[in-house]
Amino acid sequence: MTSAEADAPSPADIAKGFADGDEQSLADAYARWSGLVFTLALRSLQDRPDAEDVTQQVFVSAWRGRATFDPANGSLGAWLTGITRHRIADRLAARSRDQRNSSAAIGLVDAGSPPAHVDDHTVDRVVLADELARLEDPRRTILRLAFYEDQTYPQIAETLDLPLGTVKSHVRRGLIQLRDRLKEVQG
């Protein structure tokens, strides 16, 4: 064991400091688990820049959501791995959405002209999806799970390891935020 390893805080110490909001613990957590997070992201995404972005997003999201982390309920490494899984899924969904949009745009160009009529329902769905993408996590993820994957609030709470009341609050506040944004867009 090197002297640097001997001086490094233990995972339990990092987790406690992280939960308490100690910024040094964030740096220690990054030093200890960023390699794991990056490796998971790179293996799943097969793209280094995407894996780097996901790694950064994981630690930003973890720091912002540190109040939901309880060292007594599990390790910080496992919690970060769970966040990583969600960020990877978000990135894969974004890729798929971008690919569909590109294919649709290419189809329009190939056809030579835009479709004669785009119904209001389609426009509303596109605007709503765009506004949903602008929400901060975990609110965005919670609303996607609720409305696109038809998960119940208890299922979402279990999936994201959040209290049920927190999930309900995020849904309510997210819907209010979307409503207000859509009023601005339409107004």
pLDDT for residue 96: 85
Residues 97 and 162 in one domain: no
Residues 17 and 97 in one domain: yes
- Give the residue-averaged pLDDT of 24-34: 94
- 84, 58 contact by CB (below 8 A): yes
- Give the residue-averaged pLDDT of 94-100: 82
CA 127/CA 98 separation, integer angstroms: 15
| Residue 128 forms part of a structural domain | no
CATH of the domain at 70: 1.10.1740.10
User: For the chain, where are the alpha helices, taking DSSP H only?
Assistant: 3-7, 11-19, 23-45, 48-64, 76-111, 120-134, 139-147, 153-160, 164-186
Domain boundary pick from 102, 119, 154: 102
Residue 62 scores a pLDDT above 80: yes
> Which region, left, alpha or beta, applies to residue 74 given φ > 0 means left and ψ of -120 to 50 means alpha?
left
Residue 103: both structure tokens together: 């294919």
| Residue 55 forms part of a structural domain | yes
pLDDT for residue 150: 83
Residues 96 and 171 in one domain: no
pLDDT for residue 102: 76
Chain-centroid distance, C-alpha 147: 16
Q: pLDDT band at 109, cuts 50/70/90?
A: low
Cβ neighbors of 166 (< 8 A, separation 6 or more) are: 68, 157
Residue 76: both structure tokens together: 């910080």
Residues 175 and 96 in one domain: no
- Give the residue-averaged pLDDT of 27-49: 93
| Residue 51 forms part of a structural domain | yes
| Residue 113 forms part of a structural domain | no
CA angle, residues 40, 146, 119, in degrees to nearest 5: 110
- Give the residue-averaged pLDDT of 35-61: 92
Residues 20 and 98 in one domain: yes
Residues 77 and 155 in one domain: no
CA 100/CA 44 separation, integer angstroms: 20
| Residue 115 forms part of a structural domain | no
Q: 67 or 132, which is more confident? A: 67
Residues 15 and 91 in one domain: yes
Q: pLDDT band at 100, cuts 50/70/90?
A: confident
The rounded mean pLDDT for the chain is 84
CATH of the domain at 166: 1.10.10.10
Domain boundary pick from 50, 79, 102: 102
- How many domains are there within the chain? 2
Kindly report each contact of residues 130-135 with a partner whose C-beta sits within 8 Å and lies 24 or more positions away, as own/partner: 131/178, 131/181, 131/182, 131/185, 132/178, 134/181, 135/174, 135/177, 135/178
Residues 180 and 96 in one domain: no
Residue 72 scores a pLDDT above 60: yes
Residue 27: both structure tokens together: 């740096």
- State pLDDT tens for residues 78-92: 999 999 999 998 888
Identify the weakest region by mean pLDDT among 72-76, 78-82, 110-114, 160-164. Answer: 110-114
* Structural domain containing residue 158: 135-186
Residues 95 and 148 in one domain: no
